Amino acid sequence: MGHKPVGVAVVGAGYWGPNLIRNFLSSPDAELRWVCDLDAERAARVLGRRSEVRIATDLQEVLADPEVEAVAIATPSWTHLPLGLAALRAGKHVLMEKPLATSVEEGEQLVATAAEMGRVLMCDFTFCYTPVVRRLREMIATGELGDVLYIDTVRVNLGLVQDDIDVFWDLGPHDLSILDFILTDQYRPVEIAATGADPLGTGQTCVGYLSLTLASGAIAHVTLNWLSPTKIRQMVISGSKRMALWDDLKVGARLSLYDRGVEITPVVDRDEKRKRMVSYRTGDIVTPALPETEALSAVVSEFAHCIREGRTPLTDGVAGLRNLHILEAAGKSLQSGGVPVPLEVNHVR
């Protein structure tokens, strides 16, 4: 890009941190200077032998380094607020793992602080940087899919039951950020209902379902599950012109576009009765050739470019805040036994 690489520190070398580290190390746009983790040995193991990247167990040491311009935070979500505020207040740009924070209130603090300090606050909504999601966004924007009829997304696995967050807060940010990214304004969510269960008595909802009513009247349904025997990552976007099926586990053929649909033509018959004529369309299926690039490398590049060019990221703190609004509303619905809760997330722009 011609810019000087951005000096970066990664905080957290646990589950996701190693991916950030690997991508910062291979990016021409960044210079990884520190990895910070309470467990120095873990950090060392991730960096491997013979690395010049420095290791810290104390964030202050990292923030004190003037060569560190930006911090990527991949720690448990309850630490996002204190670590994010510390970094922003030290004048660093911040790339935050999902969810942005553990509540709307916390998220607002982070967004406000970033604005105040004039620093970039970006959410690492990795999926938004995949070729599939970019294509879906484009197909909805240009009308290539037609009207969105419904969306159904499934993200299940035999996954990590977590102490501090439930399955909505763990897996939900992925799907909610993707929907936020690809849907145009007429499909903004206006209501949410959540159901779920904790059949093992873990103290956290492990099996959850979200039903989002969109402004257009269409429905977006989200299945999230930590107790599934198999891993599924699928999203169907049914449009009036074409239907898209994204199966993220089909490497090399993740997206399929179906020229299929139902068409309803209102007719008036001889007896003046209104009827509907239903016809079906079963055309070809196309699997577009999409590059198999690593999305996280695009995240790292977007982060660095926004810093150098003073741009707002595609997935900025405000997008993270919309995410939190929906998660909070889902929690309210869940507590009330599934009663739908209205959303005003769209004032958050």
Report in angstroms how near the CB of residue 154 gets to a copy of itself at its nearest. 8
Total Cβ atoms within 10 A of residue 140: 21
Is the Cβ of residue 121 or residue 207 nearer to a copy of itself in the bound state?
207
> Where in 91-110 is the site for a copy of itself (CB under 8 A)?
none
Strand partners, 195: 209
CA distance linking residue 43 with residue 5, whole number of Å: 22
Site string for a copy of itself, 265-304 (x = CB under 8 A): -----------x-x-x-xxxxxxxx---------------
Task: Candidates 4, 15, 39, 48: give the one binding a copy of itself (CB under 8 A).
Answer: 48
Site string for a copy of itself, 301-340 (x = CB under 8 A): ------------------------------------xxxx
- Residue of 94, 169, 150 whose CA lies nearest to 124: 94
> Where in 202-231 is the site for a copy of itself (CB under 8 A)?
202-203, 206-207, 209, 211, 216-219, 221, 223, 225-231
Report in angstroms how near the CB of residue 191 gets to a copy of itself at its nearest. 8
Q: Dihedral (C-alpha) 57, 58, 59, 61: value to the nearest 10 degrees? A: -110
Site string for a copy of itself, 10-39 (x = CB under 8 A): ---------------xx----xx-------
Is the Cβ of residue 308 or residue 348 nearer to a copy of itself in the bound state?
308
Report in angstroms how near the CB of residue 346 gets to a copy of itself at its nearest. 19
Is the Cβ of residue 184 or residue 287 nearer to a copy of itself in the bound state?
287
Residue type, 275: K
CA distance linking residue 242 with residue 143, whole number of Å: 10
Task: Candidates 65, 152, 248, 294: give the one binding a copy of itself (CB under 8 A).
Answer: 152
> Where in 55-84 is the site for a copy of itself (CB under 8 A)?
none
Residue 313, CA distances (Å) to 125, 126, 241, 306 in order: 11, 12, 31, 6
Task: Candidates 1, 64, 115, 158: give the one binding a copy of itself (CB under 8 A).
Answer: 158
Residue 32, CA distances (Å) to 35, 72, 147 in order: 8, 10, 44
186 belongs to the binding site for a copy of itself (CB under 8 A): no
CA distance linking residue 7 with residue 337, whole number of Å: 48
Site string for a copy of itself, 224-263 (x = CB under 8 A): -xxxxxxx----x-x-x--xxx------xx--x-xxxxx-
Is the Cβ of residue 323 or residue 333 nearer to a copy of itself in the bound state?
333
190-193: long-range contacts (C-beta < 8 A, 24 or more apart)?
190/214, 190/215, 190/342, 190/343, 190/346, 191/340, 191/341, 191/342, 191/343, 192/326, 192/329, 192/330, 192/333, 192/340, 192/341, 192/343, 193/333, 193/338, 193/339, 193/340, 193/341
Report in angstroms how near the CB of residue 320 gets to a copy of itself at its nearest. 27
Which residues make Cβ contacts (< 8 Å) with residue 19, sequence separation at least 6?
A: 296
